[in-house]
């Protein structure tokens, strides 16, 4: 068995840029795993995936020409079925052996094993190891048909009769093991040692001598950097160097990173050039210019490194490298200028109509056929924001104004051209119209996924609109039967729930909600009020409770990433106000670390089980019936500790409240050791259960401690 490097390359038409990286990894994975399953990869073999706009390839550093012989044990059938009375093979056994390619075996070469019920026939032996040509063909067939692409193209081969399916039409196939061509086929192509370089910078085919020289020669002669990561790194370095030379920066943002990935998938030999546009376009909101440059033209806008302001320059990542790039630069500037002019026209035209006058137009836009128009939805959100604002100490008229204007920009030309700018453009138009600063901010922030900073006086109105929008969405969409199912959540209800959770967290962090208070703005009240704003008969019965459960379950899953599940379950079992959940969970985590915690949690579980046996309403405790010293001691302990624990609970000191509870351990242990709760005397039994009911109330004010029991 001989190990050599292997290169497999499939040259195609331009592949989908946003899927290219995943396609390259999937193609390489499919080849590697199939060869590994056939034992054709030598120990220490290193895989390298390649993906460029016109090729998918994989290099494996050590591949065997033939795998080692492999032992096998093939279960056939029960001996009673496979053998006749004389011990000869039955037709059923002969058919099975033939189907498995084992008909060369005689009955005497089969093994009998007892599986506990009956004797079973097995074929055992050593199978010849897979040969590379066969194994690579199987690997290629698998990789080609299992790429992660939802839609493939069907195209006709050169013979004019055969049709095949693939992501894009394929033109060349290269397969080299060391210096030898591996005779594999796919998509009507037969493997050879020839590759194709850059479509324009390298017209001649390149003949590859060995697998290890493929990448180097493709780069030097073919003007192609086949590695996605190397190409990306080169582009990033050129962007950084060029922007630094201009005293600017491309900025750091998820959008810039996504654009870098996309242009990496669009070019094979990247070169960065500098373009510019007229400074007069900078009077347009920068988001409009940035979006059109990134989204439509794949340019990198340049920013002032000190102020972050957009400049009139941008960077172009080209797939060409001529001696004189003037035509490339001028061509790109000529293309982008009309788009910027359109943005300027849209903006100036939109400013002519005050935003408030556009609200009535929302009546012509359907939100959902069961929930009415956008105007009707706007009115529901306005009412909810007006109700919520005073409960949080906010400005009700400002909150209502923000809600009324929230979607008025949907009818503007700019948002019609760039839907991604919803809210952002509304904020610009509101500011131009002289709307209050907190209203402007609310419009700008309304589409955020989560709130990630404590709420301040400046952001309170924005937070109120944020909460009202999400509460209305959750109640309305859920109420008409469109709850999330499995992986599907087309209306973003999971995101809306997480947004509400973040709002309550940040309101608490900002001091607008206090952990020691049960605010009238609690989640249940917010959802109830949202439901009241819908027309009678619109929502299904039980919608509020279902949405409430949904939000708490989302919080459960969110907290599970950073806290023990038992502590989370213990708190959520009581369904406390949403803004108290995080503090209570942390208190449970601290409590579990105490030496008394395990015994008290176990005792609480026992108390819960005993109270389930109580019949009817338990009476008040009769001190004259406390005949055992241990039960009198427990009653005294409860009377002493209950006010302390309640005081800490009311102050929002949940950890301190549970720490007070820890002092009850000795009395609880002694009670269960010395006292028979289910006494024969019904009055004594009821009195002891009443005592345990008081203990249960003391123990479970912060969380259901029985959930902490191991």
**What would the pLDDT profile of 542-551 be if each residue is shown by its tens digit?**
999 999 999 9
Strand, coil or helix: what is 318? Answer: strand
Average pLDDT on 351-359 reads 97
Cβ(14)–Cβ(56) below 8 Å: no
- Which of 100, 131, 147 minimizes the C-alpha distance to 35? 131
- Using the predicted structure, report yes or no on whether residue 616 has a pLDDT greater than 90: no
For residue 372, the SS3 value is: strand
CA angle 535, 540, 546 (to 5 degrees): 120
SS3 9: strand
Summarize pLDDT for 566-577 with one digit per residue, the tens: 999 999 999 999
CA-wise closest residue to 428 among 312, 289, 287: 287
Q: Token digits for 563?
A: 């806290």
Using CA atoms, how far residue 539 sits from 108, 478, 485, 549, 634, in Å, is: 74, 8, 18, 17, 50
List pLDDT tens digits, range 250-267: 998 999 999 999 999 999
**Dihedral angle at the C-alpha atoms of 614, 616, 621, 626, nearest 10 degrees?**
-40
- Among 73-82, 246-255, 426-435, 450-459, the range scoring the smallest mean pLDDT is 73-82
Mean pLDDT, to the nearest integer, of 22-46? 95
How many residues does this entry show for the chain? Answer: 710
155's enclosing H/E stretch is: strand 153-156
Q: What is the spatial distance between Cα 16 and Cα 23, in angstroms, rounded to a whole number?
A: 9
Quote the tokens at residue 605: 């579980």
Could you tell me the sign of the dihedral formed by the alpha carbons of 571, 572, 575, 579, in that order?
A: positive
Q: With 90 as the cut, is the pLDDT of residue 486 above it?
A: no
Query: Average per-residue pLDDT in the chain?
Result: 92
- For residue 74, is pLDDT > 70? yes
Give the residue among 427, 421, 410, 419 at the shortest CA–CA distance from 288: 421
The residue assigned the tokens 């001989």 is: 2
Burial 313-338 (b: 16+ CB within 10 A, else e): bbbbbbbbeeeebeebbeebeeebee
Taking each helix axis from N to C terminus, what angle separates 460-479 and 523-532, rounded to the nearest 10 degrees?
60
The β-bridge relationship of strands 47-52 and 55-64 is: antiparallel
Closest CA to 675 of 607, 599, 605: 607
Is the model's pLDDT at 613 over the cut of 80? no
3-state class percentages of the chain: helix first, strand second, coil last, to nearest 5: 50, 15, 35
pLDDT attached to residue 159: 84
The count of C-alpha atoms lying within 13 angstroms of the C-alpha of 258, restricted to the half-sphere facing its C-beta, is 8
Q: What is the mean pLDDT of residues 551-566?
A: 92
Q: Residue 161, class by beta-carbon neighbours within 10 Å (0-12 exposed, 13-18 middle, 19+ buried)?
A: exposed
- Res 189 pLDDT > 90: yes
Percentage with pLDDT > 90 across the chain: 69
Q: Is 150 exposed, middle or buried (0-12, 13-18, 19+ CB in 10 A)?
A: exposed
Q: Mean pLDDT, to the nearest integer, of 550-573?
A: 93
Q: What average pLDDT score do residues 30-44 get?
A: 94
Place of tokens 């439509």: 296
Q: What is the pLDDT of residues 96-155, one digit of tens each?
A: 888 887 877 888 888 888 888 888 888 887 777 789 999 999 999 999 999 998 788 999
Q: What's the CA gap between 437 and 190, in Å, rounded? A: 67
**What pLDDT band is residue 710 in, cutting at 50, 70 and 90?**
low
Three-point CA angle 454, 460, 461, nearest 5°: 150
Confidence check: pLDDT of 53 > 90: yes
Provide the pairing of β-strand 372-373 with 55-64.
unpaired
* Predicted local confidence at residue 1, as pLDDT: 65
- pLDDT given for residue 516 in this prediction: 67
CA distances from 420 to 295, 325, 414, 416, 423 (A): 11, 33, 10, 9, 9
Q: Is the pLDDT of residue 277 over 80?
A: yes
pLDDT at res. 220: 95
Q: What is the 3-state secondary structure (H, E, C) of 683-705?
A: HHHHHHHHHHHHHHHHHCCCCCH
CB 132 within 8 A of CB 120: no
Q: pLDDT tens, 374-432?
A: 999 999 999 999 999 999 999 999 999 999 999 999 999 999 999 999 999 999 999 99
| Model pTM score | 0.82
If one compares 413 and 75, the residue with the highest pLDDT of the two is 413
Q: Give the residue carrying structure tokens 């002969």.
A: 94
pLDDT band, residue 470 (cuts 50/70/90): very high
Residue of 467, 485, 567, 465 whose CA lies nearest to 527: 467
Coil, strand, or helix at residue 209? coil
Q: Do 23 and 51 form a contact (C-beta atoms < 8 A)? A: yes
Give, in degrees to the nearest 5, the angle at Cα 678 between 672 and 679: 105
Q: Which has the closest alpha carbon to 265: 228, 224, 318? A: 228
Q: Which of 161, 160, 155 is nearest to 187 (CA)?
A: 155
What pLDDT was estimated at residue 158?
A: 85
With contact defined as beta carbons under 8 Å apart, do 101 and 91 qualify?
Answer: no
């Amino acid at each position: 068995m001989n190990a050599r490097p292997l290169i497999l390359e499939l040259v195609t038409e331009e592949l989908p840029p946003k899927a290219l990286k995943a396609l390259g990894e999937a193609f390489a994975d499919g080849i590697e795993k199939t060869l590994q399953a056939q034992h054709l990869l030598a120990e220490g073999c290193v895989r390298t995936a390649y993906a460029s706009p016109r090729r998918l390839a994989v290099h494996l550093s050590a591949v065997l020409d033939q795998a080692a012989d492999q032992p096998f044990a093939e279960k056939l059938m029960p001996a009673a079925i496979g053998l006749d009375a004389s011990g000869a093979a039955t037709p059923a056994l002969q058919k099975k052996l033939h189907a498995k390619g084992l008909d060369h075996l005689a009955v005497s070469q089969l093994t009998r094993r007892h599986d506990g019920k009956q004797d079973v026939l097995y074929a055992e032996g050593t199978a010849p190891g897979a040969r590379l040509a066969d194994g690579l063909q199987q690997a290629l067939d698998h990789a080609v048909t299992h790429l992660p692409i939802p839609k493939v193209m069907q195209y006709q081969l050169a013979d004019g009769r055969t049709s095949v399916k693939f992501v894009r039409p394929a033109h060349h196939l290269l397969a080299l093991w060391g210096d030898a061509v591996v005779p594999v086929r796919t998509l009507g192509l037969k493997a050879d040692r020839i590759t194709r370089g850059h479509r324009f910078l390298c017209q001649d085919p390149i003949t590859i001598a060995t697998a290890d020289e493929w990448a180097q020669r493709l780069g030097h002669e073919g003007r192609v950097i086949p590695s996605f990561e190397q190409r990306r790194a080169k582009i990033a370095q050129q962007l950084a160097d060029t922007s630094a030379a201009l005293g600017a920066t491309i900025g750091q943002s998820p959008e810039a990173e996504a654009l870098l990935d996309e242009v990496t998938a669009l070019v094979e030999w990247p070169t960065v050039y500098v373009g510019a546009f007229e400074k007069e376009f900078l009077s347009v909101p920068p988001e409009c210019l940035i979006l059109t440059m990134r989204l439509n033209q794949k340019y990198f806008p340049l920013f002032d490194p000190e102020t972050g302001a957009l400049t009139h320059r941008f960077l172009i990542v080209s797939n060409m490298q001529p001696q004189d790039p003037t035509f490339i630069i001028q061509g790109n500037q000529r293309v982008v200028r009309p788009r910027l002019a359109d943005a300027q026209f849209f903006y100036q035209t939109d400013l002519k109509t005050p935003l408030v006058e556009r609200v009535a137009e929302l009546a012509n836009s359907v939100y959902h056929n069961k929930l009415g128009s956008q105007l009707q939805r706007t009115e529901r959100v306005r009412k909810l924001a007006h109700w919520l604002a005073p409960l949080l100490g906010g400005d009700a008229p400002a909150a209502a104004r923000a809600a009324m204007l929230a979607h008025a920009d949907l009818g503007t030309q700019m948002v019609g051209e760039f839907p991604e700018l919803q809210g952002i453009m509304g904020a610009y138009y509101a500011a131009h119209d002289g709307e209050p600063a907190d209203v402007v901010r609310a419009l700008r922030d309304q589409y955020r996924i989560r709130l990630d900073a404590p709420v301040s006086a400046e952001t309170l109105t924005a937070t109120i609109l944020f909460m009202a929008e999400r509460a209305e969405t959750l109640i309305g969409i859920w109420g008409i039967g469109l709850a999330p199912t499995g992986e599907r959540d087309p209306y973003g209800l999971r995101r809306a729930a997480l947004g509400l959770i973040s709002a309550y967290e940040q309101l608490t962090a900002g001091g607008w909600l206090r952990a020691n208070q049960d605010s009238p703005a609690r989640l249940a009240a917010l959802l109830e009020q949202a439901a009241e704003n819908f027309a009678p008969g619109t929502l299904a019965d039980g919608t509020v409770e279902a949405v409430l459960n949904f939000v708490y379950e989302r919080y459960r899953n969110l907290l599970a990433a950073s806290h023990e599940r038992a502590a989370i379950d213990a708190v959520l079992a009581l369904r406390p106000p949403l803004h108290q959940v995080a503090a209570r969970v942390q208190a449970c985590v601290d409590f579990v670390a105490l030496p008394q915690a395990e015994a008290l949690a176990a005792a609480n579980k026992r108390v819960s089980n005993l109270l389930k046996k109580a019949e009817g309403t338990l009476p008040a405790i009769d001190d004259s019936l406390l005949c055992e010293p241990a039960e009198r001691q427990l009653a005294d302990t409860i009377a002493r500790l209950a006010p302390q624990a309640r005081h800490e609970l009311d102050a929002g000191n949940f950890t301190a409240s549970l720490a007070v509870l820890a002092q009850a351990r000795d009395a609880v242990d002694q009670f269960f050791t010395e006292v028979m709760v289910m006494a024969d005397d019904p009055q004594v039994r009821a009195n002891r259960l009443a005592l345990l009911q008081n203990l249960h109330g003391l123990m479970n004010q912060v969380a259901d401690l029985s959930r902490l029991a191991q």
